[in-house]
Amino acid sequence: MKQKPLILVTNDDSIVAPGIRALIQVMKEIGEVVVVAPDKAQSAMGHAVTINSTLSIERVSIDPDLDAEYSCSGTPVDCVKIALDQILDRKPDICVSGINHGSNSSINVIYSGTMSAALEAGMSGIPAIGFSLQDFSWNANFDEVMSFVKQLTLETLKNGLPEGIVLNVNFPKLKKEEIQGIKICRQAKATWQEKFDKRVSPHGKEYYWLTGEFVNQDKGEDTDEWALKHGYISVVPVQFDLTAYHAIQQLNRWEL
Amino acid sequence: MKQKPLILVTNDDSIVAPGIRALIQVMKEIGEVVVVAPDKAQSAMGHAVTINSTLSIERVSIDPDLDAEYSCSGTPVDCVKIALDQILDRKPDICVSGINHGSNSSINVIYSGTMSAALEAGMSGIPAIGFSLQDFSWNANFDEVMSFVKQLTLETLKNGLPEGIVLNVNFPKLKKEEIQGIKICRQAKATWQEKFDKRVSPHGKEYYWLTGEFVNQDKGEDTDEWALKHGYISVVPVQFDLTAYHAIQQLNRWEL
């Protein structure tokens, strides 16, 4: 009999976040689950890794069904690295990250710890998916999207993914029956316009909170933002080869 | 008379690193310089931003020629964001990041705070360049590459950059006269193979240092790794649209 798929589960909202617990529920129906996730919230950590300090992992038991759950003191990318090198005894068949509390569509992919963990797995040749729900709240309802998480994971296990590519999956905050379907998309051109909130401490020192406004400059109907706005689940294939191939010719005309 | 170009200078090795001081020397010859850089080393921070704690900036005066030097408690990306929103009174004509102590070629671009700062500026429509020298030491000799830093910055100011693109420039550790020239390249396919160094604290607790071995799987002669190995300066145009366009068609054949 074929071995059950080995599934590495991680996230950036911490190992106790409802989003990762929902993801684990789905993955238990599919294969053998190993969880390695941050011991605290690590949102917006991007592809940060811990090189100037040390890391620790602790075996925990949050889900009594699982043999292998580890909380890690590091970033989401650290979690994937330490899972592959120190925890797993074979290469996982897939790595799933999330379900993130909040959107990682369009430019958010760059800042996202959830997606960076998936990209890190992809860099080691492991099919990987980052899942995110357009709802920042801790009590977000993940039940509505769990059947889609299962479907996308099974399709990825069946088909594999092209080399160098991982999936960025975002769910609209809708009831299951309101969801229009799944769309393969491109990343919308969008930015965050910063608005720092400047304050003064009781000791007279100025400090700032980073806030911002999300601005979508992209009217394309093939983008993730369009899909989500129209009730679809967006799936963007993302890559870690950042080369802008179309610009090489132009730069070759410079006087260098 | 035309206004001098406004140049935002940042890095990830901290505002006192010799690499940024060398970069500032060059930029003073080109335009009006504003420095906003981390108050401590922020290597390998990727595109992390500070959202779960506060930020502070402090006006400092390390270079008596400059009117505007700020050290920031945050990541390299935070530095760019706070510079644009709170410090600068107009949009800079260019943002330069570095000179990094150590290579940011090939896959290192993903982990690099230096390059993430440049990408963040690019996301705000500012031409941006990340400069890195293949020498990790604090006492690295930046003198050999300063004329090239100037040339590349002037060319970028003259030509602009295509929308959505920033430059990843890496210098080989060579004397100026040994450098073979400048090559426009693609990012080599390379990875870090993790090797965690496991130790035990005096209190009996296990902990890890992240180490790894760089492995270049790419034999292409059009890559940054090839260029650097053969004595060239590598210039890779990098983008923050991570969409793998070539994979969209393939994914559309899935049963979704």
pLDDT in tens, B22-48: 999 999 999 999 999 999 999 888 889
Interface confidence, given as ipTM, is: 0.94
Across the interface, of A184, A238, A250, the residue whose CB is closest to B242 is A238
> Which residues of chain A, if any, have pLDDT below 70?
1-2
Q: Quick check: A208 and B48 CB within 8 A?
A: no
Q: Quick check: B208 and A165 CB within 8 A?
A: no
Q: pLDDT class for B56, splitting at 50, 70, 90? A: very high
In a domain, A39, yes or no: yes
Probe site for chain A from B70, B208, B216 (most A CB atoms < 10 A): B208
Is B76 within 8 Å of B66 (Cβ atoms)?
no
pLDDT digits (tens, 9 = 90+) for A87-109: 999 999 999 999 999 999 999 99
A92/A34 Cα distance (integer angstroms): 9
Looking at the complex, report in whole angstroms how far the Cα of residue B203 sits from the nearest Cα belonging to chain A. 14
Q: Centre a 10 Å sphere on the Cβ of residue A87 and count the other Cβ atoms it contains.
A: 17
Based on its alpha-carbon atoms, the radius of gyration of chain B, rounded to whole angstroms, reads 19
CB distance from A119 to chain B under 8 Å? yes
> Domain containing A40 — which CATH number?
3.40.1210.10
Q: pLDDT class for B18, splitting at 50, 70, 90? A: very high
DSSP symbol at B85: I
In a domain, B210, yes or no: no
Q: What is the pLDDT of residue B192?
A: 94
DSSP symbol at B40: S
In a domain, A193, yes or no: no
A107/B84 Cα distance (integer angstroms): 18
For chain B positions 130-169, those within 8 Å of chain A (CB to CB) are 151-152, 155, 159, 161-162, 164-165, 168
Residue B247's Cβ-count burial label (10 Å; 0-12, 13-18, 19+) is: buried
Q: How crowded is the C-beta side of A186, counted as CA atoms within 13 Å?
A: 15
pLDDT digits (tens, 9 = 90+) for B148-166: 999 999 999 999 999 999 9
Domain span including residue B50? 6-189+219-251
* Residue in chain A nearest B247 by alpha carbon: A237
Domains identified in chain B, total number:
1
Q: What is the pLDDT of residue A256?
A: 86
Mean pLDDT in residue range B189-207? 94
Instruction: Using the predicted structure, report yes or no on whether residue B128 has a pLDDT greater than 90.
Output: yes
CA trace torsion A99, A103, A108, A109 (10° rounding): 30
Q: What is the pLDDT of residue A44?
A: 85
Query: The whole model's pTM is what?
Result: 0.95
Share of chain B above pLDDT 70, in %: 99
Give the angle subtended at the CA of B238 by the CAs of A251 and A186, to the nearest 5°. 115
